[in-house]
A and B are shown apart, each in its own frame.
Chain A
Amino acid sequence: SYELTQPPSVSVSPGQTARITCSGDALPKKYAYWYQQKSGQAPVLVIYEDSKRPSGIPERFSGSSSGTMATLTISGAQVEDEADYYCYSTDSSGNRPFGGGTKLTVL
């Protein structure tokens, strides 16, 4: 089955840039999506189709993809950005896994 790999945790100080990576063999041909999930809440889509930002998502959230790696970047991370972040994608067989999730700490 298809797997997406994320680092378990990333830690930054407020105002710094946080980068969360997601690796997967099908990413050169398939889009990556990113979700933010705060404790006890449903996930929120923050990036779709590698780099597009839904309305209402702050400009400090951006995405990129190159080769087998997609990256979520939070420029000037704020305390309220502390959450779990999940990448999501698909492969040619129709599998649609989430990455294992990355816990972002901002302190």
Chain B
Amino acid sequence: QVQLVQSGAEVKKPGASVKVSCKASGYTFTSYDINWVRQATGQGLEWMGWMNPNSGNTGYAQKFQGRVTMTRNTSISTAYMELSSLRSEDTAVYYCARACYGCYGMDVWGQGTTVTVSS
């Protein structure tokens, strides 16, 4: 079945970077964009950006420009999201999500990765 499996929870110190992985299976990885969305505890969903796994093209939310990098390894059908210069406000659950074919919506979601930023 179609699924996205994310890497495990991370604990980082302020100023560090974190890299979260998202492994796709059950479909052609290069045919669907991957989005990243985060959610702080008790808060709403926040879109971070998208990546086209075929071309590697990306688009980032203005808030994260300069701090986020989305990449992929097509040989292992895995997408990555790296966030740098972490601060406490970056503590959240990070989701990868596949864009539905030909549209902006996200129809398949990973299970989420908890990133905790604490000194």
Whether B62 is near chain A, meaning CB under 8 Å from some CB there, is yes
Pick from A44, A96, A99, A100: contact of B104, CB below 8 A. Answer: A96
Assembly CA distance A96 to B111 (angstroms): 21
A-B contact pairs, 20 of them (CB 8 A): A1-B62, A31-B103, A31-B105, A33-B104, A35-B106, A42-B95, A43-B45, A43-B97, A43-B109, A48-B100, A48-B107, A49-B103, A86-B45, A88-B47, A94-B59, A96-B50, A97-B47, A98-B37, A98-B45, A99-B44
Whether B53 is near chain A, meaning CB under 8 Å from some CB there, is no
Assembly CA distance A99 to B44 (angstroms): 8
Report chain A residues within 8 Å CB of B63.
1
Binary CB contact string for chain B from 50 to 77 against chain A (1 if under 8 A, 0 otherwise): 1000000001011100000000000000
Report chain B residues within 8 Å CB of A100.
44
Residue in A closest to B111 when the chains form the complex, CB atoms? A42
Assembly CA distance A1 to B106 (angstroms): 21
Whether A21 is near chain B, meaning CB under 8 Å from some CB there, is no
Binary CB contact string for chain A from 77 to 88 against chain B (1 if under 8 A, 0 otherwise): 000000010101
Docked-complex contact B44 and A98, CB < 8 angstroms: yes
Docked-complex contact A96 and B44, CB < 8 angstroms: no
Per the CB 8 Å criterion, the residue count for chain A at the interface is: 25
Interface residues of A (CB under 8 A from B): 1, 31, 33, 35, 37, 42-45, 48-49, 54, 84, 86, 88-90, 94-101
Docked-complex contact B112 and A98, CB < 8 angstroms: no
Whether B14 is near chain A, meaning CB under 8 Å from some CB there, is no
Residue in B closest to A37 when the chains form the complex, CB atoms? B45
Task: List 10 other contacts, CB 8 Å, given A43-B37, A54-B107, A97-B47.
Answer: A31-B103, A48-B105, A54-B100, A84-B44, A86-B44, A90-B104, A98-B46, A99-B44, A100-B44, A101-B44
Docked-complex contact B47 and A45, CB < 8 angstroms: no
Report chain B residues within 8 Å CB of A89.
104
Residue in B closest to A47 when the chains form the complex, CB atoms? B105
Assembly CA distance A86 to B37 (angstroms): 13
Counting chain A CB atoms within 10 Å of each CB, the highest count among B59, B61, B104, B111 belongs to B104
